[in-house]
């Protein structure tokens, strides 16, 4: 009996959650006038000049922009013509990326610095250049490899 109640409870929670997602998608589509699919990018990590909070982000594709939303609130945009690359990276590759800071700090030893073990967490990275010619790597925590790659492929279809 307890198992049946637990299963019914989980199904109810899932149903309510899907309802909230549908409401959010409808509100975003109405504001952006887009007919494209709304993509759940994941948890915002870093890299957008207008976003200063870690939050779950949805992306709506319009003719000219990717518009970023937190719940139903527009929090930023990325012009499609400014996008250089949309990639999936794992946590290890993000941590081990050789940066100018690391080179300055460690010099030639930066190449010999110990590598950390691989961590199975994936990120969606949108590389783009703004109107001031500043490069940005807007990064979202995406979860598993398949889901993150699926979101990447959807966004690539809208470029």
pLDDT in tens, 112-129: 655 555 568 899 999 999
Tens digits of residue pLDDT in 38-71: 777 788 989 999 998 888 888 888 888 998 988 7
- Go through the domains of the chain in sequence order and give each one's CATH number: 2-157 (2.30.29)
Q: What is the pTM of this model?
A: 0.68
Query: In the numeric block, which tokens belong to residue 118?
Result: 């691989």
Query: In the numeric block, which tokens belong to residue 63?
Result: 């003719």
φ/ψ of 45, rounded to 5, equals -110, -50
Query: In the numeric block, which tokens belong to residue 20?
Result: 């909230």
Q: Per-residue pLDDT averaged across 119-141, rounded? A: 90
What is the four-CA torsion angle of 39, 133, 73, 23, rounded to 10 degrees? Answer: -20
C-alpha–C-alpha distance, residues 99 and 156, integer Å: 26
Tens digits of residue pLDDT in 70-111: 877 889 999 999 999 999 988 777 666 645 555 555 565 555
Element (H, E) at 2: helix 2-32
CB–CB of 130/13 below 8 Å?
Answer: no
Residue written as tokens 């959650």?
A: 17
Tell me what pLDDT residue 70 has: 87
DSSP 67: E
């Amino acid at each position: 009996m307890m198992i049946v109640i637990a299963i019914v409870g989980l199904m109810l929670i899932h149903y309510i959650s899907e309802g909230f997602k549908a409401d959010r998608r409808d509100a975003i589509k109405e504001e952006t006038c887009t007919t494209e699919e709304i993509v759940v990018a994941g948890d915002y990590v870093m890299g957008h000049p207008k976003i200063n909070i870690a939050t779950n982000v949805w992306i709506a594709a319009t003719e000219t922009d990717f518009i970023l939303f937190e719940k139903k609130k527009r929090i930023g945009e990325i012009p499609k013509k400014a996008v250089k690359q949309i990639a999936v990276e794992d946590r290890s590759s993000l941590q081990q990326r050789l940066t100018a800071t690391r080179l300055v700090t460690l010099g030639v030893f930066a190449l010999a610095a110990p590598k950390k073990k691989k961590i199975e967490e994936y990120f969606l990275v949108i590389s783009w250049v703004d109107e001031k010619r500043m490069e940005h790597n807007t990064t979202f925590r995406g979860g598993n490899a398949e889901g993150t790659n699926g979101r990447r492929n959807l966004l690539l279809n809208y470029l």
